[in-house]
Amino acid sequence: MTAPPPDERLLALEGARFALPDGTQLPPMSVGASGRLAVLVGAFGFLFRALIGAVRLLGGSATVLGTPIDRAVGAGVAGLALAEPPLPPGFTLERYLRESAELLGMGTRAARRAAGDLLARYELDRAAARRLESLAPVERRVLALVHATLSEPSVLFCETPLARLDDASGAYVESVLARATEGRRAVISVADPGGRERALLDRADVALVLDRHHAIARYTPGALPLGGSRVLATVTRRGPEFREALRARGLEPQPLAPVPALQGLFGGQAENPERVALELPAQDATRAVFAAAADADAPLVELVRLP
């Protein structure tokens, strides 16, 4: 496993300008994350694809542990697990891992041994001869996590690994994710911060929030408020819709006096930013707040306990 110097940031974007495959250019972005686990909230799909060159960096800099983002996977610094990984038709699990190992520069024997070791480590050896197209969606997601560890990288980038799974599938992927990230640093995106993925936020050293390709918040989650707490919630836009979505869930938001600084804090991305106070339900705690923000398309950037 590559051992990075301790002072290098897990992820660092400095004036980074990316171009999507269709030619769309994203606005410059400057944001960074340190620690062992960074959780991404928002449309960060472009960042994962920048690791394999599908999204190009036009200007500024983007690094993973000091390595340019488009070279991090090839250099063995980062491993990548996409939510919907492209898999070659006709390949078996064993062939897919073995030929991937060869592409990483391993000799034939070493690649065969590495593939066999991985299959055994994650209890997939009995499925070694299965064709990739026969895998269920949850199996494809597990394979993506296992494949991402092939080069023994220092950091894993995992795109929404726990999203849209039933309880049994979610528990299975969660266990594989825990083993794949053991002893490694990780950058993991979430689709529903109020559901199963909430546990990732609780463990994160830093969370980065993105709205319409603008980095709008960076915070240390710590432990989010528990049920029964009185909290302060802030969204950067669609405040009225957020309040209505809260009421639809039986919560009664209390609008606070306008805070002019909110507009300046979030700049051009802020449209009707709003702070409200409310009592969290005894059950599910913050789940209802996150769900209301998602329904209202209102980026939630602050949720803190009030005295």
Residue 12 has pLDDT above 70, yes or no: yes
Residue 132 has pLDDT above 60, yes or no: yes
Residue 100 has pLDDT above 80, yes or no: yes
53-57, 164-168, 193-197, 204-208: least confident range: 193-197
Residue 57 falls inside a structural domain:
yes
In this structure, are 214 and 235 located in the same domain? no
Residue 122 falls inside a structural domain:
no
Domain count, the chain: 2
In this structure, are 40 and 166 located in the same domain? yes
Residue 88 has pLDDT above 60, yes or no: yes
Domain that holds residue 183: 11-87+135-219
Residue 2 has pLDDT above 60, yes or no: no
Residue 129 falls inside a structural domain:
no
Q: How confident is the model at residue 211 (pLDDT cuts 50, 70, 90)?
A: low
Residue 148 falls inside a structural domain:
yes
Residue 50 falls inside a structural domain:
yes
In this structure, are 72 and 189 located in the same domain? yes
In this structure, are 242 and 213 located in the same domain? no
Which of 219, 248, 278 delimits the end of a domain? Answer: 219
The answer to whether 157 and 51 are in contact (CB under 8 A) is yes
Which of 185, 219, 253 delimits the end of a domain? Answer: 219
User: What is the rounded average pLDDT for all residues in the chain?
Assistant: 84
pLDDT at 219: 60
Higher local confidence (pLDDT), 117 or 277: 117
In this structure, are 188 and 288 located in the same domain? no
In this structure, are 44 and 187 located in the same domain? yes
Instruction: Provide mean pLDDT across the span 128-133.
Output: 94
Higher local confidence (pLDDT), 2 or 19: 19
CATH number at residue 69: 3.40.50.300
In this structure, are 160 and 301 located in the same domain? no
DSSP string, 194-263: TTTTHHHHHH-SEEEEEETTEEEEEE---SPPPTT-EEEEEESB-HHHHHHHHHHTT---EEPPP-THHH
